[in-house]
Amino acid sequence: MYPRVEINLEGILHNLHILRSKCEEQGSSLSLVTKVLGGRRQLVKYITEISGITSICDSRVYNLAYFYELDVEKWLIRSPMISEAETVVKYADVSLNSELKVIEALNETAIKHNKKHKIVLMCECGDLREGCYEEELLQIIEKCRTMDGIEIYGIGTNLSCLNEVLPSEENMAEFVRLVEKAEECYGSEFRYISGGASSSIPMLFSGKLDKKINHLRFGEAVFLGNIPVYDKPFENAEINNFILQAEVIELKEKPASPEIPRDDCTNLRKRAIVAVGKQDIDIKGLSVLDERIEIVAGSSDHVVLDVTNCGDEINVGSIISFRMNYNCLLNAMTSPYIKEHIV
């Protein structure tokens, strides 16, 4: 059944082993960001059990609900909505937070259910997505000290996801300074200093990540072997863990552009249409494994390919294979029209 994503579990485990070993060498722990798996419980169960990973992160609390019975710590890494406080307290062991009103809602819910909800307070270190500046961070900590349903589990930051601000010795030093201020305010050290995601790999591998940082959240690097923003694999990474396969539904010779008349035989190209489109994937994130094939364009349900250089190898019913970048893979794995096939 096509379109489908072929998943290479051995390659995923290979990348995870490399990254986990490197974290352990530096005195850090690793949480696996599972959002690209779209709530597929059996995949997450297999990967965590085989690898020994004890902590997973997801941006959707309803994905964490699918993992409810898995014996791993579950982090919600998109800041919770007030309206989902009940669900967050029920299904997430830990959530990343930067707004006092949300924390207050989590506190009320946790008290109601006789629970203690763990939070990681997020610092703004330059990427301008979620996170507090110093004054607000310390104010929130003071408020949290009076909350019976909240435990400050750690301090975190996020870089590279919005404005592609890379982790550096300078902004990581600022992050560590904020952590030390926060610990001084709180009166004790926090369990987790969560210093970033896959874009932190170059600093991790070079040993330049501050020793105070003891936790990293990795998704793209594990699943695709890719370092975000740098857009290159880390050393010995397996990059072909997710391959999109789509079936050819039309194969015809057509003009190279709408302006060229059909009877101009010198400008005819052999074009194939595959049955997948913008409703399922980010076409800009596709690349064809066969370098002789060029992506021409796409619409909601179609991707048009130039297969002129393939001779007679492509036919109606042929299967074309594509690599996907992380955003494209996220779309594919959450589309109800694309199935997965475990290699």
> Partners of 14 in the beta sheet?
none
Strand-pair category, 286-288 with 268-274: unpaired
Q: Are 58 and 33 in contact (CB under 8 A)?
A: yes
* Average pLDDT for 89-97: 98
If you search the block for the tokens 């579990």, which residue do you land on? Answer: 9
Nearest Cα to Cα of residue 283 among 341, 226, 339, 332: 332
Q: Is the pLDDT of residue 161 over 80?
A: yes
Q: What is the pLDDT of residue 264?
A: 66
Q: Retrieve residue 120's tokens.
A: 């990681």
Q: What is the CATH topology of the domain spanning 9-233?
A: TIM Barrel (3.20.20)
Nearest Cα to Cα of residue 269 among 288, 299, 293, 298: 293
In this structure, the chain runs to a length of 343
> Partners of 324 in the beta sheet?
286
pTM for the structure as a whole: 0.95
Report residue 258's pLDDT band, with 50, 70 and 90 as the boundaries: confident
CATH 2.40.37.10 residue spans of the chain: 242-342
Report residue 261's pLDDT band, with 50, 70 and 90 as the boundaries: confident
* Domain 242-342 belongs in CATH node 2.40.37.10: yes
Q: What percent of the chain has pLDDT over 70?
A: 99
- Mention every residue, 6+ apart, whose C-beta is less than 8 A from residue 132: 98, 121, 122, 123, 124, 140
318 against 255, higher pLDDT: 318
* Average pLDDT for 110-119: 98
If you search the block for the tokens 């898995």, which residue do you land on? Answer: 70
Q: Is the pLDDT of residue 33 over 70?
A: yes
Q: Give tens-digit pLDDT for 198-257.
A: 999 999 999 999 999 999 999 999 999 999 999 999 999 999 999 999 999 999 999 988
Q: What is the pLDDT of residue 259?
A: 74
- Mention every residue, 6+ apart, whose C-beta is less than 8 A from residue 300: 277, 278, 279
For 268, list phi and psi in degrees, rounded to 5: -85, 140
Nearest Cα to Cα of residue 152 among 127, 178, 183, 195: 183
CB atoms within 10 A of CB 67: 21
CATH 3.20.20.10 residue spans of the chain: 9-233
Mean pLDDT of all residues belonging to the chain: 96
Q: Is the pLDDT of residue 265 over 80?
A: no
Q: Give tens-digit pLDDT for 72-84.
A: 999 999 999 999 9
Catalytic residues: 35
Nearest Cα to Cα of residue 289 among 316, 324, 317: 324
> Partners of 246 in the beta sheet?
320
Q: Retrieve residue 65's tokens.
A: 């609900």
Greatest CA separation for the chain? 80
Q: Is the pLDDT of residue 62 over 80?
A: yes
Report residue 160's pLDDT band, with 50, 70 and 90 as the boundaries: very high
- Mention every residue, 6+ apart, whose C-beta is less than 8 A from residue 17: 51
E strand map for the chain: 4-7, 29-33, 55-58, 73-76, 94-97, 117-123, 150-157, 192-194, 215-218, 226-227, 232-233, 242-255, 268-274, 286-288, 294-298, 303-306, 319-324, 339-342
Report residue 149's pLDDT band, with 50, 70 and 90 as the boundaries: very high
Q: Classify residue 95 by burial, with Cβ atoms within 10 Å: 0-12, 13-18, 19+.
A: buried
Report residue 267's pLDDT band, with 50, 70 and 90 as the boundaries: confident
Strand-pair category, 150-157 with 339-342: unpaired
Q: Give tens-digit pLDDT for 286-311.
A: 999 999 999 999 999 999 999 999 99
